[in-house]
Chain A
């Protein structure tokens, strides 16, 4: 009996770990969020975050373009203007990334990062570009060939990959980890299913999976259960609410609208 129970739990955990094909989203999905930053205990809406998907056809293949943008509200533009672009071109079925771009413009700070994946050799051709006054072109470039583990993804592909996991079969307390390539470094992100909760969102009252996100080997995310993500407990697994605590402060991400959903 004990053996059967262990086997059942193991199977459930494995199901959470190895998600199936993408049944959560399709091309044409548009999610709009409002990002609030905690200032002296008061949450202030500072930016709009968009997550969009579209189709990208090349002569030989069909890819899914996952795009995330962050834009500060006009009232904050004169103080700290943010225009960030994060995008990944992935296999529509398995969410395996092939190309990743990150172009950030944050209060005068500029950075461009590009990863081109070679999954046969498990290597990534990386280009990092920053603005500098020390060169004639005004830019500082770094090209590198980075070795990655099998299954390593960029941050955008990872966020979408979580949505494809078969969470409904996972028991409370189940966890999974993903290796994320960020700034040419591989970081392990761990997701733990804390509970099933019903929360009020702009999309209505939604039953959600509450996940805790933590990292190992880096201090990007602070606290053990301070970074939380609520995904709707349906086939779409829309990220409706998130609480984050990073080195420079804490805040929240709330959904404003969701269109073009798959289910």
Chain B
């Protein structure tokens, strides 16, 4: 049970760190919370059995890093639209074409 908790905790903690650096950083909260839960389970088991907790500390460290990064990005990241130069050119081109196409129409109603 302790070993399984450590393995799952490590997997979720690494996943949380990866997600927290990607644009999908909000998703990092899910594996980070799971990593923390498995970390606590592993820590309690290790303490009861008087076993070393070095790897569990790594799980907690990674969890804290991912949670801090995801929280920081959630609060301070401002969503901005990227380069729209091409889209603007497309809009202008289509508008010119539309003007020519609509030259012959007569609105009756």
Contact = CB atoms under 8 A, between A and B. Distances in A.
Given A71-B82, A74-B80, A99 B106 contact: no
B103 interface: yes
B1 interface: no
A interface, by DSSP: helix, strand, loop or mixed? strand
A72 interface: yes
B107 to A, nearest CB: 5
A59 interface: yes
A85 B91 contact: yes
Contacts of A93: 109
Interface in B76-109: 77, 79-84, 86-87, 90-91, 94-95, 98-99, 101-107, 109
Contacts of A45: 79
B81 A42 contact: no
Contact of A42 (B26, B99, B102, B105): B26
B105 A58 contact: yes
Contacts of B23: 44, 73, 75-76, 79
B102 A71 contact: no
Contact of B79 (A58, A63, A73, A94): A73
B87 A83 contact: yes
B12 interface: no
Given A56-B99, A83-B87, A73 B30 contact: no
Contacts of A99: 98, 101-102
Summarize B's interface: helix, strand, loop or mixed.
helix
Interface string B28-71: 01100000000000000000000000000000000000000000
A96 B109 contact: yes
B80 A101 contact: no
Given A73-B81, A77-B82, A59 B103 contact: yes
A67 to B, nearest CB: 7
B75 interface: no
Interface of A: 34, 39-40, 42-45, 48, 56, 58-63, 65, 67, 69, 71-77, 79, 81, 83, 85, 87, 89, 91, 93-94, 96, 98-99, 101, 103, 116
5 contacts: A42-B26, A48-B79, A58-B99, A99-B102, A103-B94
